Every structure is written in C-alpha cells, then in structure tokens.
C-alpha cells in the first residue's frame, strides 16, 4: 500500500510538471489599448413617473487591457479605463414636452473576463464572460427646464455639474460578456501586433441610487460597448 501511495504521488508530480511545462510553452501575454463608443440605457420603475420617458444615448470610452493565455483557446483578461454612460429623460405632459434632461456619468471601469478564443493563427474569434466593478467619478446634467406664471410657461436651457449626495451609490458591480475579433497584421521576432474589435455588454447588478428613507427607487444602467484597439502579443 505504501509503494502504491508513493507511485501515486510521483504520478501526480509528473502530471503537474508536464502541465506546467505545457502552460509555459503555450502561454502568451497580450497588452493593448482601445477606444470606442457605448450606448447606455437606464432600467427604472415607472411607478409615479408615467410622464417620463427614458432613452439611451451614446458616449465615448477609452481602455487599457492585459491578457494572459493559459492555452490556445483560454485566457483571462483585465481591462481598465474610463467610460461615460449617458441617457436622456423626456417629459410627456403636452405643455411640458420641450422639457428634457441629459445625464452624463463618468466611471472608472475594471472588467475581469474569461476569453474563449477560436480560429487560425492570424484571424481569431473571441467569446468573453465575466464581471466588472466600477467607480462613479463625476456627473453632469444638461437640458431644458421650465418655470410658470399664471399665464405663461417659460423654458430655460441649463448645463451644470451635478454634485453627489448620500443617495448616490458610487461603487457598482455587474456582469459583462460579449464577442470579439482579432487579426494579427504584423509578426516580428518574439512579438505579434494585432487589431481587436470588441462588442461587450455591461449589466449592472447594483443600483446607482440607494433610494429614499421611505421609498425604494432602484436605477440600473446597461451599456453596449463597441471598441477598436491595438494589441501587442509576446
């Protein structure tokens, strides 16, 4: 029994050594930068707000990313960057139809994803799945408001920075997933250069509004991101 136990230990060590050697031979680091556009919508209850309509808006984003490939088809990837997530609210009460507010929210984003890849040596497809954390850095609002007299309704444009308060949730987490395409256009000794096209969807699990003392008012942001980037593989 003792000999069998020793043989089993040796076999495990040999397998582990072989796996480590295989990983070292096939692993690759990738670093890069990307930029693009996202379209963000807000999910919010309509209770008490039947005169408000929310619609998605587009905004810019910029990211750095790093990826470590364990095998030819599996890697882990981390992104870090800035994303502006914007949406619009319109009032729908006849004489208040011109009233609207555009919300622009700046976030620092940190997605962590598994990267499942497939294809040839130069052109490869990618499927991403993982989670993200984000920090709400700043907020701006602009649009058209109104004030009334007994006989007239006056409309005024406004544009200002919005200050945070105790009802704002600054740290937010959620799920992220999507598809990508990469193409190696240049190969030199010890390094390849590639272009990356990614389409990612960010889904918040945490409301960016904590709610009031006697009223729950959850608000979740959902963003579709399209980016183009340049990557160095070594």
In a domain, 153, yes or no: yes
Encode pLDDT of 132-142 as tens digits.
Answer: 999 999 999 99
Please state, in angstroms and rounded to a whole number, the distance separating the CA atoms of residues 224 and 40: 6
Q: What is the DSSP letter of 164?
A: P
What is the share, in percent, of the chain residues with pLDDT greater than 70? Answer: 85
Contacts of 17 (CB under 8 A, 6+ apart): none
Encode pLDDT of 141-154 as tens digits.
Answer: 999 988 777 777 88
In a domain, 4, yes or no: no
First to last CA, the chain: 47
CA 82 to chain centre: 9
Provide the domain limits for residue 207.
Answer: 28-233
In a domain, 9, yes or no: no
In a domain, 78, yes or no: yes
Q: Which helix (H) or strand (E) holds 7?
A: helix 2-26
Please state, in angstroms and rounded to a whole number, the distance separating the CA atoms of residues 41 and 13: 52
Position 202 scores a pLDDT of: 98
Please state, in angstroms and rounded to a whole number, the distance separating the CA atoms of residues 52 and 160: 21
In a domain, 160, yes or no: yes
Position 153 scores a pLDDT of: 80
Number of domains in the chain: 1
In a domain, 3, yes or no: no
CATH assignment of the domain containing 40:
2.40.160
Backbone angles phi, psi at 199, to 5 degrees: -125, 110
Whether the predicted pLDDT of 193 surpasses 90: yes
Encode pLDDT of 163-185 as tens digits.
Answer: 999 999 999 999 999 999 999 99
For 21, left (φ over 0), alpha (ψ -120 to 50), or beta?
alpha
In a domain, 1, yes or no: no
Please state, in angstroms and rounded to a whole number, the distance separating the CA atoms of residues 112 and 131: 6
Q: Say if residue 149 is exposed, middle or buried (CB neighbours under 10 Å; 0-12, 13-18, 19+).
A: exposed
Across the strands, what pairs with 102?
88, 142
């Amino acid at each position: 029994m003792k000999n069998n136990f020793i043989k089993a230990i040796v076999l495990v060590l040999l397998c582990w050594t072989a796996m480590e050697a295989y990983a070292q031979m096939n692993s690759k680091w990738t670093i890069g930068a990307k930029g693009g556009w996202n379209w963000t919508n807000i999910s919010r209850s309509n209770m008490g707000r039947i005169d408000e309509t929310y619609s998605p808006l587009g905004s810019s984003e910029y990211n750095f990313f790093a990826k470590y490939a364990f095998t030819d088809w599996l890697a882990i990837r981390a992104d870090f960057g800035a994303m502006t997530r914007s949406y619009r609210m319109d009032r729908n009460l006849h004489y208040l139809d011109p009233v609207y507010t555009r919300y622009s929210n700046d976030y620092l984003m940190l997605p962590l994803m598994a990267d499942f890849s497939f294809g040839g040596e130069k052109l490869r497809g990618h499927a991403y799945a993982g989670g993200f954390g984000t920090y709400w850095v700043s907020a701006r609002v602009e649009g058209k408001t109104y004030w009334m007299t007994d006989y007239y309704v006056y409309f005024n444009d406004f544009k200002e920075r919005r200050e945070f308060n105790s009802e704002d949730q600054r740290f937010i987490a959620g799920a992220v997933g999507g598809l990508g395409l990469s193409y190696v256009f240049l190969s030199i000794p010890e390094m390849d250069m590639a272009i990356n096209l990614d389409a990612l969807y960010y889904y918040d699990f945490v409301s960016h509004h904590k709610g009031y003392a006697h009223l729950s008012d959850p608000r979740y942001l959902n963003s579709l991101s399209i980016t183009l980037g340049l990557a160095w593989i070594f």
